[in-house]
Every structure is written in structure tokens, then in C-alpha cells.
Structure 1
Amino acid sequence: MRNALLYLLLFATLLPTVSQWGTIAYYQVNKAYIARVLCENRNKPQLHCDGQCYLAKRLKAQQDRQDKETTQRVQNIAPIQLFCESGLQFTFGAPAKVGQQPVYRYVLAHYSAPSSSLLRPPGLLV
């Protein structure tokens, strides 16, 4: 069961890169049919196209479709807020004497350091 799941995930991961190879394999298997029926230059045998124009169009369309899907995925990703200043408070004190600059102080929210057991160098076992 685990092997089947592993192969399924591996196949799903490699599918976008395999799809171009699938198109090329389809072209190689059906080369005679493509050259005879689907090729744009089938009436011009001196060009020796043999359906390569059809293959190029299919690969270009596939690449454009993948680019469009990637662009849509990137545009739909929600932005991530990296910094939060909700614990920062400013207090403004009055100047001690006339003519002096006012005193500005800020107070940070309570900070608790992570557990010291997490931040130990490797090799030191206590």
C-alpha cells in the first residue's frame, strides 16, 4: 500500500515534465498518420516536414497552457505577513524643562525566549 502511494505521489509530481515527453511519444508513434492527415505542409513534400509543424504547435500550445496555469496559481496566492507590530506601544512624555526635546519611549510586549533545549549545538547531550 505504501509503495503504491509512493509511486502515485511520484507520478503526480513528475506529470508536468512527463506531459511534453508524452506529446513527443504520441508524435513518434503516429508519425505517418500525422504527416499524411494533420500536417499543414502535406501538399509540399519537398519541405520534408513529416508532421513536425503539428508537433511544434502542440508543444507550443501545451507550454502556453502550463504558463497560464502557473500565472493563475501565483496570482491567487494570498500574501504572507512577515512582521506584526501589534505589541509595540509608544508613549510620549512631557519635556522635563522648557526648551528641551520631548522624551519618546516605546514599550515592547512581553517576550519569552524559546526553550533552551531547542537551541543547543549538535553533539552536546545533557
Structure 2
Amino acid sequence: MVHISTYKKFGTYLLLAVLLLQSFNRLFIVGDYYLHTASYAERCENKLRVELHCNGQCIIAKKLKEADKREKNSADKKIERYHDVYLALPTTLSLPPATYEDRQLTDFPELPVAVTSDYSPSVFRPPIG
């Protein structure tokens, strides 16, 4: 029988992995370049300009720009969602102005006078400095 704490641990690790994948996507792109530099060099767009010694860095630059563009678009969509303004009808927001004369003294009952009983000055006294 699987305990609930096992599910919680699995869920925690899964959420952590997703968060790390999202945060370090640029690192994975650059890491993929260093692992597969030869395949990037074969697909290089600057093969005619050998003096650049590109080795596929043009492709990785494009991938990083695309990742930044996707990230910016998703951030813009999130921001656009929060620009919605919901207005209520003026009748629901308007309240009659309150004045001092509107209040009646019977609305607030008088409090009883505070009387202390069993007051011991030997216990309750100011501190001696």
C-alpha cells in the first residue's frame, strides 16, 4: 500500500523538476550545443565564410532568440490577462453620504464605568529604576 507521503514527495520532485526545466531552458540549449557541436557545425549557415569559425554558433544563437521570443510572448499574454477591467453599475457603488446628524445616540449604548476591585498596589506598581 502506497502512503500519501510518497505521493507528496513524488509531486514535490515533479514540480521542482518542471520549475528547473522552465528556469534553465537556456542552459539546456547551450549544453546541447556543447554535447553535439559536430552536428551543429554540419548544419552551420556560415559554411561559405570559413574565417568566422562559427561551428554552428549561428544556429544556437537562433535557438536562444526563439526561446527568448517565446518567453516574452508568454509573459506578454500573462500581462494582457491582468489588464481586464470590470466595472460595476453606478447604482451598486453609490452610497448615501453619512453625516453626523444621521447617527442617533441610541445606536451606541453607554459603557459601564470601569471599576477595579481587589486592587493590590504592592503587586501593580511602577518599576523601580
Counterpart code for 1:24: V
* TM-score normalised by length of structure 2: 0.59
* TM-score normalised by length of structure 1: 0.60
Unmatched 5+ residue regions in structure 1? Answer: 92-104, 108-126
Count, aligned residues: 90
Q: How far apart, CA to CA, are the structure 1 residues paired with 2:18 and 2:32?
A: 20
TM-superposed deviation, 1:62 = 0.5
Higher relative contact order (CA 8 A, sep 6+): 2
What is the RMSD computed on CA atoms of the aligned residues? 2.6
TM-superposed deviation, 1:79 = 5.3
Any residues of structure 2 matched to 1:80-95 within 5 Å, and which? 86=93, 88-90=95-97
**Where is the helix percentage greater, Structure 1 or Structure 2?**
2
SS at match of 1:90: coil
SS at match of 1:43: coil
1:33 aligns with 39
SS at match of 2:97: strand
Pick the structure with greater CA Rg.
2
TM-superposed deviation, 1:88 = 4.2
Matched, 1:5 2:11: yes
Unmatched 5+ residue regions in structure 2? Answer: 1-5, 103-129
Provide the identity percentage: 28
**Where is the strand percentage greater, Structure 1 or Structure 2?**
1
Q: How far apart, CA to CA, are the structure 1 residues paired with 2:47 and 2:21?
A: 32
